[in-house]
Amino acid sequence: MKEDSPLKLDKLAAGNLSDNIQEFEFVFIVHLMFKMLLFKNELSRALEKKDQDIINAMELLNLAKIRLQKMRESELESMMDEVYSFCGKHDILIPKMVDDCPRLKRKRSGVSYLHHFHVEVFYAVIDLQLQELNNRFDVATSDLLLGMASLNPVDSFPNFEKNRIMKLAGYYKSEFGDNQLRDLSYQLDSFIVYALQRDSKFLNLKGIKDLAIVMLTLILPVATASVERAFSSTKLIKNDLRNNIGEEFLNGCLVCKIEHKLFATINNDAIMDRFQRMKPRRVEL
């Protein structure tokens, strides 16, 4: 294009590109990015396997972080040797590393080539990759994934770890208060003993989906009984004489009917005080 393009601007652009790709900095960056792409491709292919489990995936991520850190600490010199060798074969000028690296043509920067390539390019690229992995798979995400993996029933719960599940529950503050977390700790101890030794329902499960189905079948009779009680109470309260009862009033009546044992422990004075404070009334109860 530099020689044969009919357009002058295309010739100029091609000439500039041709000059740039024959500079040491371009060769250095290409070698570095080639290593980064090889590394990320290997990690991506491993994580995208259909049979990849969460525990192994998290181990691969930790290994990737260690690999990047090792590369940052000890592999710069070997990569520089590769770049020197490539430039020597292709007659590319190698700058003196102690000289200043110009930010613009013919303008000195006060920063040496050595500092520029080591800190501003090599370290900066690796640190960016480490930061990206940490952002995408932070502590909270890792805890959630490992907690879910601990519930995987394949091969008799091989990854079951109580502490990971407790961490998982701790992220759901609205569902698990201090008392619920205490109860969960005890229940997990009982669950793993029950699942492994006493009940054939938990054998030969293929994944968390199968575990959820088994747990649903265990709680379904209780849930069904609760629903039946609610429907029976509804039939008693919303009869022909109360056919136009409002939804809010109906809900209040149902709570009182279904939870009658709880309401039996509350004295009438407390109920009247609560009713009196709901809004101003003409008569004091």
User: What is the DSSP annotation of 158-213?
Assistant: TT--HHHHHHHHHT-TTT--HHHHHHHHHHHHHHHHIIIII-GGGTT--SHHHHHH
216 pLDDT exceeds 60? Answer: yes
Percent of the chain exceeding pLDDT 90 equals 14
pLDDT-wise least confident of 48-52, 70-74, 110-114, 275-279 = 48-52
Give the pLDDT confidence score for residue 40 in this predicted structure.
Answer: 82
Strands (E), 40-101: none
Give the pLDDT confidence score for residue 246 in this predicted structure.
Answer: 79
pLDDT interval class at 201 (50, 70, 90): low
253 pLDDT exceeds 90? Answer: no
222 pLDDT exceeds 60? Answer: no
What CA–CA distance (Å, rounded) separates 79 from 86? 11
15 pLDDT exceeds 90? Answer: no
φ/ψ of residue 100, rounded to 5: -70, 140
Q: What is the dihedral of CA 73, 79, 80, 86, to 10 degrees?
A: 180
pLDDT interval class at 125 (50, 70, 90): very high
Give the pLDDT confidence score for residue 173 in this predicted structure.
Answer: 80
Give the pLDDT confidence score for residue 123 in this predicted structure.
Answer: 93
Which pTM was predicted? 0.51
205 neighbors 212 (Cβ within 8 angstroms):
no
Taking every pair of Cα atoms in the chain, the longest distance, rounded to a whole number of angstroms, is: 102
What CA–CA distance (Å, rounded) separates 128 from 209? 37
Query: CB 125: neighbour CB atoms within 10 A?
Result: 17
* Mean pLDDT of all residues in 206-212: 67
* Mean pLDDT of all residues in 101-111: 65
